[in-house]
Structure 1
Amino acid sequence: MLILLSICLLAQPDRCREDRIELSYESTSPTVCLRRSQTALADWQAAHPEWHVTRWRCALRGSLPKDL
């Protein structure tokens, strides 16, 4: 599964982009993704302190949407 992120720079809030976190398991259950994503999001935020996560969602690897 993937976590799709919409992120903006803290210093320039109008400068935004999308990113993704690849999770090491494949599950079709949204509940499992939501539970495990909290740790992945916290780790990502700690590694990228200059960015702010504005939105995120889980997605299957083979079905990436055009927009978050």
Structure 2
Amino acid sequence: MNPIYLAVLVVYVFGFAGMYFYSLKRDVVCGLERNPREAFMLALFWPPLLAILVLHILVENIIFCMRRRGG
């Protein structure tokens, strides 16, 4: 196995575990019932959600800079 693929797999697995347990913890902190199915779905799809969030932030920054420059 290529070391790059192995590194990506490790990052995904750690991200999956982190998002799963974070979602379950937030349910408890917010006073909601624990929903393992929802936590699993969030953990499974965290890379696309993160990519969408980063893209949104970049677009906002570009728009802000364009307005600031008067363009």
The interval holding the TM-score normalised by the smaller chain is: 0.3 to 0.5
Pair member with larger Rg: 2
Structure showing the higher helix proportion among its residues:
2
Structure showing the higher strand proportion among its residues:
1
| TM-score (ref. length: structure 2) | 0.34
Q: Greater RCO between the two (CA within 8 Å, min separation 6)?
A: 1
| TM-score (ref. length: structure 1) | 0.35
